[in-house]
Amino acid sequence: MAGHLTSKKAEAWYTGDVGEPVGKIDKPEPRWQVVLALLAVGGIYVALPRALIAGPKWVLPIFIAVLIAPTVVAHRMGKHSLNRVLGIIISSVITLALLASVGLLVAAVPTHKEEPVALLRSGAELWFTNMLVFALWYWRLDGGGPTARRQRHEFGSRSFVFPQMQIEKIERGRFECQGWQPHFVDYLFIAWTTSSTFGPTDAPLLARWAKILTMVQIGISLTIVIVLISRAVGVL
């Protein structure tokens, strides 16, 4: 009887909403992509001019490096609540650092203290950082986080309508997306298109928190682009 129930439970994990088998769930998501994104944020921050950094230049990179290790260890040891808290703390701090640097970038334009080329390069770096920071937020919050998404074995997302979710169930096998779940690269693409087009293009938004974060991301991206355009016009 126990074996029968276990097999039924396993079957439910791989079944669609009307009992149609949808195939094998994706392999566990690699976390190295997230770690690489965090290290990239720290590296870009160090590359910024001193005038665009609030506080000591070394604080944010050291903070990221120090918290990455326990975050990874917590995930490996199955302490998912600790992993989630540490991840949210890291994302919150780098978001505040991003906002501070963007504010200093805006303030630096009328002073003409920074070289035009350095200012344009800094704006591009902050634009790229903005994209990485919000990709991390989307990945961390969607469906309760990557661990919760994995444990529920749900198809697709609870906060975004990815293209795979719009494919008819009978067609999913042909596109090899049975049991599909979003990974960090999928959220990175959402963040990239949002910063590039000032609006979601790949995946419409469902959750209110996603809409709020997207508005903030668009606001930051638009501010940076306006600053770059105004400085470029000034140089010309």
1 belongs to a structural domain: no
Question: What pLDDT, on a 0 to 100 scale, did the predictor assign at position 235?
Answer: 52
Question: What pLDDT, on a 0 to 100 scale, did the predictor assign at position 112?
Answer: 67
pTM of the model: 0.83
Q: Extract the tokens encoding 112.
A: 């003409």
5 belongs to a structural domain: no
10 belongs to a structural domain: no
208 belongs to a structural domain: yes
Domain that holds residue 96: 28-235
- Residues 218-228 have a mean pLDDT of 91
- Residues 77-100 have a mean pLDDT of 93
Confidence of residue 116 (pLDDT cuts 50, 70, 90): confident
For the chain, the domain total comes to 1
170 belongs to a structural domain: yes
* 141: amino acid identity, one letter: L
179 belongs to a structural domain: yes
- Whether the pLDDT of residue 126 is over 50: the answer is yes
Please give the mean pLDDT across all residues of the chain.
83
3 belongs to a structural domain: no
Q: What does the DSSP assignment read for 156-175? A: S-SSB--GGGGS-GGGTTTT
